[in-house]
Structure 1
Amino acid sequence: MSTMMTAAAHAEMPAVLSVEGLTTSFLVDGGWRPVVRNISFDVMPGETVAIVGESGSGKSVTSLSIMRLLARDQSRVEGRVLVNGRDILALSERDMQAVRGNEVAMIFQEPMTSLNPIFTIGRQISEVLRRHKGMSKAQARAETIRMLDKVRIPNAGARFDEYPHQFSGGMRQRVMIAMALASRPNLLIADEPTTALDVTIQGQILDLIKELQEEEGMSVLFITHDMGVVAEIADRTIVMLRGDVVEQGQTADIFRRGQHSYTRELLAAVPKLGSMHGHAWPLRFPIGDIGSGKAEEPIEVANTVDTRKTPVLSVRNLVTRFPIRSGLLGRQTGAVHAVENISFDLFQGETLSIVGESGCGKSTTGRSITRLVEPKSGEVHLDGYNVLSLDQPGLRAMRRSVQMIFQDPFSSLNPRMTVGATIAEPYLKHRLGSGGEAQGKVADLLRKVGLAPEMTDRYPHEFSGGQRQRIAIARALALNPKVIVADESVSALDVSIKAQVCNLLMDLQEEFNLSFLFISHDMAVVERISHRVAVMYLGEIVEIGPRAAIFDNPQHDYTKKLMAAVPVPDPERRGLRRGTSIDELKSPVRPAGYEPPRREYREVTAGHFVQV
């Protein structure tokens, strides 16, 4: 059954899922606090409906309420949830178990939390078939291998007896989809199933869900915060904000004629690949305060980069490897070639982005430059001295010039220290001023990152994710550094918060003439904020050059693959199939003594180099 069903055809068929007046409340301080309020929607046969919204919007609570997966003593679900005409909220728990996995299946954001690490993946899928379909062990094995083939897992028969840890993130998500579809449910609920995946793997999973839906005639309820994903996969879209549905309708109408200010702000905040064509320098995101209904005009950031001068950071032939030891004597049998002979310069006031998928070596590059991990060889020159030859006192002094911002600010902020003490700590440790001066510095930095100075006495848990990232940025600025290494610093943020933090980084760069080494897998964000881009694959730079040259004229096959996989917020791409290969990223593990071949580069245009 095709997913492209007409409105008339839908009208003649009963809904697979009908949610009526759903209200979900949690027990807080002895009272019931509603977090989802009186929402209603239908999912028709063969249809994909997306629920979109940011953290705290209630979209995941909605899906968990439908599946009755919330703790019964801490939650209360009211209204009606009809699956094939039957109100499943009125069922006993035993009857509900027969619904889960059989009529309605669910896949989650992180498959490792859903797969049991002590059982093979074959056994876990077979168990579903034996329980719901009454198959024999041999029948279940044969059907499981067929399902693994169906979700495009290479060499499925041999991988039946492997464990979850032996699969990559993308392949584990395929296993979860195989398990969810094993009983041929009428409805698949997919809760952020691609958020944690690299862009090429995300593209493969989206293609897979579309193909399987068409083959099986299945309905899909897709939960996400990514408007690009929504445009590519959804027939209809429901927009949620703080527990309420603020808008719903055909996806094309939502994108072209969104009525609610929040919908328009969400769409404005989405970086669109190709939107920088014709712009010479980075461009701020056109957002205002979310919820205000006011959007800023996009402003081109003034170019402050002079590549004729001496670079502020110069990396030459950097190599970082991690030894692999085995046997009783712990003898080295191999090594992870995380960073392999890379070279680049970073100039004052410039943003050089390093892009690539998980395992390509981009984060290790940032950590090697700051010596949070020790490189094997190479040179890193900062302010004219080689960072890799510094002793501990010299290294401490160097860190005044280069600071890092990490992906998860909560894990990098001390939960026992107030944010004021956290920001002041490096300033005081480097003896840049007195306690009173530190207080003034903290207040000034909080203002600069868009927070109130009165917040100094609060603790990290009292802030949102976006606010915590602003605190991490303020701490990085406390030492007046020349270089900031931003390691996936906006990857975990909601789309509007991501846009706000990117705008903040560009504002700070313009004010302080900062240099950014921006490490990311998000090609659309990288296009927006970069002066130059380096593409990494298996520890090596395969292409590097000015942002316009890389995005307008990509030369390396891997660069092209990364760009082709980026979801574009355009409903016209609804039926798109990328046709990307399903090969997993190759392993950077090499046997002991292995030395890679010397790489050659071709200059395409001025400053644009590609590996040959």
Structure 2
Amino acid sequence: MPRPVLSISNLNTSFRVGGEWMNVVRDVSFDIAPKETVAVVGESGSGKSVTALSIMRLLSPANSRVTGRMDFDGKNLLDLPLDEMQKVRGNRIGMIFQEPMTSLNPVLKIGRQITEVLVQHRGMSHADAEVEAVRLLDRVRIPSARSRLNEYPMSFSGGMRQRVVIAVALACSPKLLIADEPTTALDVTIQAQILELIKTLQEEEGMSVLFITHDMGVVAEISDRAVVMYRGEAVEAGTTQEIFANARHPYTRALLSAVPQLGSMTGTSKPMRFPLVDLATGEAAPLKETADTIKTGRYPILKVENLVTRFNLKSGLFGRVSGRVHAVENVSFSVREGETLSLVGESGCGKSTTGRSIIRLTEAKEGKIEIAGKDVRRARKSDLVAIRRNAQMIFQDPFDSLNPRVRVGSAIAEPILTHGLATQKEASERVADLLERVGLSAAMADRFPHEFSGGQRQRICIARALALEPKLIVADESVSALDVSVKAQVINLMLDLQEKLGLAYLFISHDMAVVERISHRVAVMYLGEIVEIGPRASLFENPQHPYTKRLMAAVPIADPVRRHLRRISNDEIRSPVRPPDYVAPKRTYREVSPDHFVQVSDP
């Protein structure tokens, strides 16, 4: 057996909290062999990212304490002086973080950020470093690499920024690459490209990879072995195939059961709740029947006709319009009472702008929007307030939606009091009822947002959205940032509320597996246009548009035996920026089955 590249023995990490030490990683041990990929998997708070930061010694020594052994290249990393550890970081061990913009300096050009690493760690001249920077960008599949050296991070898409971060991490040909949730914030197609890129570069460079994630589908795609962490402890370890075929620990079984499987709804026509599993025991909770009892109304709560939303790009001294972002182009659809219509597509396709235009948080340029029979675009300010009683929005990040200085009870009561719907006492009673309706206790009304978990905060945002008893909820990536088990709980809650209250949902997402499970109908957006729309079963079982097929092909397969069956496209989504005189072509649609329409020509 070859000597491990990295050997972790009895790793313990503690943080000083309120004058006392709190142990957050306890007695974790594992090895990484040469050219091997080991996934450390677990939900938020399991200790997996703290483990990675401990290996890199990036935790502040003032309020953290790390003990145990971390043998790398024959040396215990914990014994190295700081200057020696700095030589290891970025040189022998590279690291990729979840959000590339936290790793890249927004005011420095990409080329300078790569060449600085090469000059500092490899002693290159600036001229040689620039040549090598171009080679690295080529290696991570960034087109026109030389010309893009002089661009700033903001001019790159999320997927391309992550490729730049990988290029920086690979600059010194590290022996070990630590990837901490590098694809969590990316669309499913870009995620597939990044995973494929990491595997390809690993084979070419012969490096080992420590891959940290909460997504068991990603674990199945990329890892040779997996270490499952729960509440700071490694509760199970083994080859990826062994763990997926015969998981022993209840928490591992719970993680596996919470992964939505694309295609699991074949043959059914109604949305279906997620099975809930107790993370501590791995036992499935009793699950009610599917939402067959939901009766969709005859008339639309929401009607959108030929919606157009564009943003001017100005340049020059006098602010001349030099181009336009065609964010939403001639979009039409309707949503009925008790129905869920999902808008799906990658970042930049226009789905979130469509949702914001409907609520008039963003002003549309053309088209007609009706909510409960009221014209949204022509409504005066006073009328718009009344219209918004019938339509509420839930955003992706619940913490950004809540004022950290306002108790959650006051945040939920605010719209009730603003609209004059109740007295202060009645509003307090209504808040207690809403909190219990979303699975929280009335006593939690006095807490602040930071005292809740991410899933609980999203439940609070749902309670606030329900405060005005709306008929329509626009949910914009409302579960994308949640762990799989919490995501299942929140989606089940939304389905329960839809069944009880007859709510209509416009569910905006890029997660095809979740969309398949909860939708009545699905609309696929690309470059601001709907390219395919139809009943969920028809669209998923018989996708017609190439872009729809591409989205589905990119979904991770939660089975390591089938990991090579995915077809990866390396195409980037095209830019929606057009010249000022651009006239959008008229589109035609073909009905392939009842109410299932596909755009005849690509945009």
Tell me if both proteins adopt one fold, taking TM over 0.5 as the criterion.
yes
In structure 2, do the counterparts of structure 1 residues 247 and 264 end up closer, same or farther at CA, with 3 Å as the change threshold? same
Question: Does the 8 Å contact 1:129/1:182 carry over to 2?
Answer: yes
Aligned twin of 2:530: 541
Q: Does 1:593 align with 2:581?
A: yes
Q: Deviations over 1:436-461 (max 9, x none)?
A: 22222111111110001111111111
Q: Does 1:62 align with 2:51?
A: yes
Q: Does 1:196 align with 2:185?
A: yes
Local SS of the residue matching 1:441: helix
Q: Distance in 2 between matches of 1:109 and 1:293?
A: 28
**What amino acid is the match of 2:454?**
G
Aligned twin of 2:254: 265
CA deviation after TM superposition for structure 1 residue 576, in Å: 5.0
Equivalent runs, 1:456-535 vs 2, <5 Å:
456-535=445-524
5+ residue gaps in structure 2?
none
Aligned twin of 1:605: 593
Question: Does the 8 Å contact 2:294/2:498 carry over to 1?
Answer: no
**What amino acid is the match of 1:250?**
T
Aligned twin of 1:49: 38
Q: Does 1:210 align with 2:195?
A: no
**In the alignment, which of 283, 289, 304 is matched to residue 315 of structure 1?**
304
Q: Distance in 2 between matches of 1:575 and 1:69?
A: 35
Q: Does 1:559 align with 2:548?
A: yes
**In the alignment, which of 292, 296, 299 is matched to residue 302 of structure 1?**
292
In structure 2, do the counterparts of structure 1 residues 375 and 584 end up closer, same or farther at CA, with 3 Å as the change threshold? same
Question: Does the 8 Å contact 1:207/1:578 carry over to 2?
Answer: no
Equivalent runs, 1:198-277 vs 2, <5 Å:
198-277=187-266
Question: Does the 8 Å contact 1:49/1:220 carry over to 2?
Answer: yes
Question: Does the 8 Å contact 2:307/2:328 carry over to 1?
Answer: yes
Q: Does 1:578 align with 2:582?
A: no
**In the alignment, which of 449, 457, 474 is matched to residue 438 of structure 2?**
449
Q: Distance in 2 between matches of 1:574 and 1:402?
A: 42
Q: Distance in 1 between matches of 2:248 and 2:42?
A: 15
Aligned twin of 1:408: 397
CA deviation after TM superposition for structure 1 residue 108, in Å: 0.6
CA deviation after TM superposition for structure 1 residue 577, in Å: 5.8
Q: Distance in 1 between matches of 2:95 and 2:154?
A: 21
Local SS of the residue matching 2:58: coil
In structure 2, do the counterparts of structure 1 residues 139 and 329 end up closer, same or farther at CA, with 3 Å as the change threshold? closer
**In the alignment, which of 6, 14, 18 is matched to residue 3 of structure 2?**
14
Q: Does 1:166 align with 2:155?
A: yes
Q: Distance in 2 between matches of 1:53 and 1:404?
A: 30
CA deviation after TM superposition for structure 1 residue 319, in Å: 0.8
CA deviation after TM superposition for structure 1 residue 483, in Å: 0.5
Q: Deviations over 1:463-487 (max 9, x none)?
A: 1111010011011111111100001
TM-score (ref. length: structure 1): 0.96
**What amino acid is the match of 2:311?**
F
Local SS of the residue matching 1:312: strand
CA deviation after TM superposition for structure 1 residue 174, in Å: 0.8
Give the paired residue count: 599
Q: Does 1:27 align with 2:20?
A: no
Q: Deviations over 1:549-588 (max 9, x none)?
A: 111111111111111111121111344563312x322111
Aligned twin of 1:332: 321
Question: Does the 8 Å contact 1:232/1:576 carry over to 2?
Answer: no
TM-score (ref. length: structure 2): 0.97
**In the alignment, which of 69, 79, 99 is matched to residue 80 of structure 1?**
69
Q: Distance in 2 between matches of 1:232 and 1:437?
A: 52
CA deviation after TM superposition for structure 1 residue 53, in Å: 0.7
Local SS of the residue matching 2:573: coil
Q: Deviations over 1:164-207 (max 9, x none)?
A: 22211111111111111121111100000111111111100000
Q: Point out the more displaced range, 566-575 or 41-50.
A: 566-575
Q: Distance in 2 between matches of 1:68 and 1:354?
A: 43
In structure 2, do the counterparts of structure 1 residues 576 and 24 end up closer, same or farther at CA, with 3 Å as the change threshold? farther
**What amino acid is the match of 1:30?**
G
CA deviation after TM superposition for structure 1 residue 85, in Å: 2.1
Q: Distance in 2 between matches of 1:63 and 1:109?
A: 12
CA deviation after TM superposition for structure 1 residue 306, in Å: 4.1
CA deviation after TM superposition for structure 1 residue 533, in Å: 0.3
Aligned twin of 1:147: 136
Q: Deviations over 1:413-450 (max 9, x none)?
A: 12222111111111122222222222221111111100
In structure 2, do the counterparts of structure 1 residues 228 and 165 end up closer, same or farther at CA, with 3 Å as the change threshold? same
Q: Point out the more displaced range, 286-295 or 563-572.
A: 286-295
Q: Distance in 1 between matches of 2:10 and 2:104?
A: 33
Task: Give percent identity, aligned residues only.
Answer: 65
**What amino acid is the match of 2:516?**
E
In structure 2, do the counterparts of structure 1 residues 77 and 306 end up closer, same or farther at CA, with 3 Å as the change threshold? closer
CA deviation after TM superposition for structure 1 residue 123, in Å: 2.4
**In the alignment, which of 372, 381, 389 is matched to residue 378 of structure 2?**
389
CA deviation after TM superposition for structure 1 residue 144, in Å: 2.0
Q: Point out the more displaced range, 439-448 or 491-500.
A: 439-448
Question: Does the 8 Å contact 1:281/1:303 carry over to 2?
Answer: no
